[in-house]
Amino acid sequence: MSQDIFELRSRHRRDYDPYSKASIQEHLDEIADRRRRSPVSYSTRGNGCWVLTTYDDISGVLRRNNRGFVSFPNDPDGLNVQGARAALIPIEIDGERHRQFRRVLDPLFSPGRVAALEPRLREAANALIDEFVEEGACEFVEHFAMPFPGATFLALMGWPAEDLPRLNRWVATVHHGVPGATEEESNAARAAVVTEMRDYVVALIADRRENPRDDVTTHCLQAEIEGRRLSDDELFDLFLLMMLAGLDTVQSVLAQSFAFFGRYPGRWAEMFDGPAGVEAAIEELLRWTAPAIPTRTVTDESALVGDVELPRGERVHFPLAAANRDPKYYPDPDSIVFDRPAKPHLAFGMGTHRCVGVHLARLELRVAFAEIRRRLPEFALAPGSEPDEHLGLSWGVENVHIVFPPGRREGRDRP
């Protein structure tokens, strides 16, 4: 490695911890300070990476996927802690191979196919609400934010609904490690659950080859990429990403949103009664929550990011929330402003790797907010409770205990 890169890294060094124990807002405050003082900085943690903080720099890198940057490895430390056999498909592959995968996946999550799920989603949302509405209290993540998108994911994939609790446990371990454990202990736990996940997925693959169905799993088994069917390792890398994204993103947005509304109950009514409308309010919540944290690698001889010329092989890391809190485009960026003037946010990414499940996620959120508003017109955080926030490979919130006036079940009575 040339002396020039050591000097470049040294000149811009400011270490960064993606697994910090800070709260989400504390972490964003630190990112805001970086944005003012050193918008492109180098962190020596792990195998080293450059940390980006502005909307322009982050969106610029996302637009240049396959044109100066690639998405592997999509990890801030440059390690394969998520457990893919080769690369998470399709997020960590690029070029023509990536385009072939998207041609297979995009129709499975198209607006028309997703819209047909709405009645099922409303039924699932109300079934979950029925389980706690009479109690006047619940832990929102456990009883709604986690199982609601999870049940949809399992139905689309054709996987057993009763497996949701262990899939959620696996995904939480991969994304967040073990609470209170050392980094080494968390990585060991990740390795253990990835082994369990692989055994689970390989068994499902074998079953579906013998018993094909009209589900996403069967469609992926029957697809041809580069003129052949996918191997078990490739299918695992594909289904692993689907689990990590499908079971976490909407859950995180819901959990962060309801922690906010629990602290500020008056904003719950404002979301529905304000002039901007519910869909604009949901987009503002997506901007504000944005749990994903991509990483990209320079493949051209060099690439200009901000005012720093990065040579081939350097990695750049950027929480999408950093772009979404850039005051250049979002005045008072840490506040939720439901009638904020429109500016495309980056919660689902941008460019060739924009989230394949974007239409499903938006529908899930629209249904969830509408049905909870109808059934729980008011709620607040339980007295003395405080949600637990975490960073890691996806940002989120747990232990969102809420209280509300008890309501009535709408489904069948309990046996």
- The string of DSSP codes covering 203-222 is HHHHHHHHS--SSHHHHHHH
Q: What is the pLDDT of residue 11?
A: 95
> For the chain, what is the domain count?
1
415: pLDDT strictly greater than 50: no
Per-residue DSSP letter, 392: S
Instruction: Read off the CATH number of the domain in which 209 is found.
Output: 1.10.630.10
- pLDDT tens for residues 152-202? 899 899 999 899 988 989 988 888 788 778 878 888 898 899 899 999 999
145: pLDDT strictly greater than 80: yes
Assign 3-class secondary structure to 270-284.
Answer: HHHHCCCCHHHHHHH
- pLDDT tens for residues 12-66? 999 999 989 899 999 999 999 999 999 999 999 888 999 999 999 999 999 987 7
Q: Tell me what the mean pLDDT of segment 395-411 comes to.
A: 94
353: pLDDT strictly greater than 50: yes
Q: What is the pLDDT of residue 216?
A: 93
How far CA 413 is from CA of 143, 162, 374, 409, in Å, comes to: 18, 21, 20, 8
Rounded distance, CA 85 to CA 88, Å? 8
Indicate whether 140 belongs to any domain: yes
- pLDDT tens for residues 108-141? 999 998 999 999 999 999 999 999 999 999 999 9
Using CB atoms within 10 Å of the CB of residue 68, give its burial: 0 to 12 exposed, 13 to 18 middle, 19+ buried: buried
In DSSP terms, 403 is beta-bridged to 137, 380
Indicate whether 410 belongs to any domain: no
Expressed as residue numbers, the domain containing 213 is: 3-403
Q: What is the pLDDT of residue 367?
A: 97
- pLDDT tens for residues 194-209? 899 999 999 999 999 9
Per-residue DSSP letter, 35: H
Chain centroid offset of residue 80 CA: 18
Indicate whether 58 belongs to any domain: yes
Indicate whether 414 belongs to any domain: no
More confident position, 91 or 311? 311
Indicate whether 243 belongs to any domain: yes
Indicate whether 412 belongs to any domain: no
Rounded distance, CA 283 to CA 287, Å? 6
Q: What is the pLDDT of residue 414?
A: 44
262-266, 302-306, 337-341, 410-414: least confident range: 410-414
Indicate whether 309 belongs to any domain: yes
- Contact (Cβ atoms closer than 8 angstroms) between residue 255 and residue 396: yes
Q: Tell me what the mean pLDDT of segment 92-98 comes to.
A: 87
pLDDT level of residue 82 (50, 70, 90 thresholds): low
Indicate whether 409 belongs to any domain: no
227: pLDDT strictly greater than 50: yes
86: pLDDT strictly greater than 70: no
Enter the tokens of residue 362. 């938006």
